[in-house]
Amino acid sequence: MGSALSTLLVTSVVLISVFLIYQTNLVSDMIIIDAQDESIERFAELNQNRLKVIPVATTTLSTFTSRIFYDNTDAFNRDVWSIDTNVSNIVDTEINITGTGSAASPAVKPGNANLIYFEDLPKPNDRILDVGLLGPDGKIPPGAPTTVLDTNLVLLDDHISKMSYSPDGTKIAYDKYNVANSKYDLYVMDADGNNKVNITNRSMHNDTNPTWSPDGTKIAFESEIGGFSDIYYINSDGSGGLCKKTNGFFDGYNNIAPSWSNDGTKIAFATDRYPITDYDIALLTSDCTVTESPTRITDANDVQTDPDWSPDDTQIVYQYINGWASRDLYTVDIIATTTSSTKITSAKSKFPNNPDWYSLETCGLEFWVENSGSNSFFSFNKMDLYLNFFNATEEIIKLNYVKREASVLEKVLPGEWTYELPEFYDDLSLNDIYQQGILNKGEYLRVSLKLPFRAANDRTGMLIFSTDNGTTLTSKFTNNLVRHKNNNEIYMKCGVGP
């Protein structure tokens, strides 16, 4: 990057305790000193090299993102893929995340995009892998360490173990073949693979497809006995017995693949109770003590199964199987009065299964950089951008530059920053001498950045922005709208907030 900050801060997250940063009494000087006084750098903003930070009045940066993860079989290879749901046309946005040819049934940890999946190996070597945090591009970073969470799953008849993170991300529920009773049971383990507990352990039932309640106290699952499947609830620690939500064993139909809504009020599942069709998606209230008829939300002549909810509970993604010869993922709007659905996979996805609709709240900042000096600035994509948080550890985070087109500026990912040279500055001042890659005198650069979601009491600090030629800018940022407006501080927007 070329600036002194690049040489001093060599990792993406550095504690400020290593450095002392302060401004001198001289109007435009900043001094950076390391803790051992081994290096001192002074940046002087001369009149000919002067930049100014101006907060954006109203940020349009999206700080809420979501993706649909699923496993996809292409020829003889099975991998974890994902679909970008942050764009208006999500078809053909699929990407292969694993690329190993043996990955299935993904689950993503709430809040930080930690991926686990089932690795389908020659039996009895099937296992559950944790590949850690996904990178800003939604893929597994090169060289990322892999942790084995469970082994010897002994999966029969190509059954793929479905996994589900608890809402707080500390535990994982999954189904596993129990050699002792030759049936599948539900297990819960810590997110690091420790403390595995069989919470069903029933000799006559196959208990599969767990899904957590949003409050983390219960798990809904599918249980098969005598060729028929029903939806049951159990306390997440296995205590207190079972509650049976459906009655397919006595009525002669199957109820499978439950998914708990994010607001905790409903269960989506697949059922073959309707005439002509094989399976359709239906809804029930989550109250296990209420006897009711389900609400049908799909109506097709083939199989619709494996539902999962969108983050706002307005849509459901599901697997559509056409005569067992072709498969696709579809979404249905459950708020609408129609049961028509939208196909979201392309020819890239040959046989998609087990969708997991994941959402991530982030934080973001937007601000203008004005060139108020006499010189033009070049290569401003090589500027260094840091956030110094006013928290107990006085944390410093370095953001990575990424090129984004203006049309997809909202796609900036956590840990990234980008810029654009718009035609107008807040629709008031024309960048009339605009040149690509050059910030001329009197022009404005709009900078956007994102970082992982932060608690409400940890969103204040100092922005540090340095250039190749030694010009350094600082500006306070805040999550307080009053301070943003009255004190001209940059506003940090987080999640779905204002």
Q: What is the mean pLDDT of residues 242-271?
A: 91
For 53-110, how does the pLDDT look when each residue is reduced to its tens digit (9 = 90+)?
888 887 777 777 788 999 998 777 889 999 888 766 777 788 898 988 889 899 998 8
Name the strand (E) or helix (H) holding 130.
Answer: strand 127-133
For 313-334, how does the pLDDT look when each residue is reduced to its tens digit (9 = 90+)?
999 999 998 866 678 999 999 8
Residues 264, 278: Cα–Cα separation, whole Å: 28
Domain span holding position 455: 4-61+361-494
What is the rounded radius of gyration, in angstroms, for the C-alpha atoms of the chain? 26
Residues 154, 178: Cα–Cα separation, whole Å: 8
Model confidence band, residue 338 (pLDDT cutoffs 50, 70, 90): low
The CATH number that applies at residue 253 is 2.120.10.30
pLDDT at 14: 28
Residues 137 and 281 in one domain: yes
pLDDT at 496: 72
- Whether residue 274 is predicted with pLDDT greater than 80 in this model: the reply is yes
Smallest CA-to-CA distance from 380 within 427, 453, 445 is with: 445
Residue 68 covered by a domain: no
Distance from the Cα of residue 87 to its chain's centroid: 15
Tell me which of 293, 327, 349 is where a domain ends: 349
Residues 384, 140: Cα–Cα separation, whole Å: 25
- Whether residue 217 is predicted with pLDDT greater than 60 in this model: the reply is yes
pLDDT at 411: 60
Other beta carbons within 10 Å of 452: 16
Which distant-in-sequence residues (6+ apart) come within 8 Å of 370 by Cβ? 51, 52, 53, 54, 425, 442, 443, 444, 445
Residues 264 and 151 in one domain: yes
pLDDT at 183: 87
Q: What is the mean pLDDT of residues 153-177?
A: 81
pLDDT at 48: 47
pLDDT at 413: 66
For 394-405, how does the pLDDT look when each residue is reduced to its tens digit (9 = 90+)?
898 888 777 755
When the pLDDT of each residue in the chain is averaged and rounded to a whole number, the result is 78
Higher per-residue pLDDT: 124 or 304? 304
Tell me which of 349, 369, 391 is where a domain ends: 349
Phi-psi map region of 272: left, alpha, beta (phi>0 left; psi -120 to 50 alpha):
alpha
Residues 93 and 188 in one domain: yes
Q: Which of 5-14, 112-121, 351-360, 472-481 has the lowest mean pLDDT?
A: 5-14
Q: What is the mean pLDDT of residues 157-166?
A: 76
Q: What are phi and psi of 408, to 5 degrees?
A: -125, 30
Residues 23 and 165 in one domain: no
Query: How many structural domains are present in the chain?
Result: 2
Model confidence band, residue 498 (pLDDT cutoffs 50, 70, 90): low
Residues 242 and 281 in one domain: yes
pLDDT at 430: 46
Query: What's the per-residue H, E or C state across 454-486?
Result: CCCCCCCEEEEEECCCCCEEEEEEECCHHHHHH
Higher per-residue pLDDT: 358 or 6? 358
Which distant-in-sequence residues (6+ apart) come within 8 Å of 246 by Cβ? 230, 231, 255, 269, 271, 284
Residue 70 covered by a domain: no
Residues 141 and 97 in one domain: yes
Which of 37-46, 59-68, 232-241, 424-433 is modeled with the greatest confidence?
Answer: 232-241
Q: What is the layout of strands, in order, in the sheet containing 341-343?
A: 303-309, 315-322, 326-333, 341-343
Q: Which of 425-439, 443-457, 474-488 has the lowest mean pLDDT?
A: 425-439
Residues 143 and 99 in one domain: yes
Residues 386 and 424 in one domain: yes
Residues 315 and 367 in one domain: no
Model confidence band, residue 237 (pLDDT cutoffs 50, 70, 90): very high
Instruction: Report the greatest alpha carbon distance in the chain.
Output: 84
Smallest CA-to-CA distance from 2 within 469, 410, 471, 336 is with: 469
Residue 71 covered by a domain: no
Residue 428 covered by a domain: yes
Smallest CA-to-CA distance from 449 within 485, 475, 470 is with: 475
Residues 211 and 185 in one domain: yes
Residue 356 covered by a domain: no
Model confidence band, residue 289 (pLDDT cutoffs 50, 70, 90): confident
Residues 111, 305: Cα–Cα separation, whole Å: 26
pLDDT at 136: 59
Residues 275 and 377 in one domain: no
Higher per-residue pLDDT: 378 or 189? 189
Tell me which of 298, 327, 349 is where a domain ends: 349
Torsion of CA 353, 357, 363, 366, to 10 degrees: 80
Smallest CA-to-CA distance from 230 within 206, 203, 263, 197 is with: 206
Residues 41 and 9 in one domain: yes
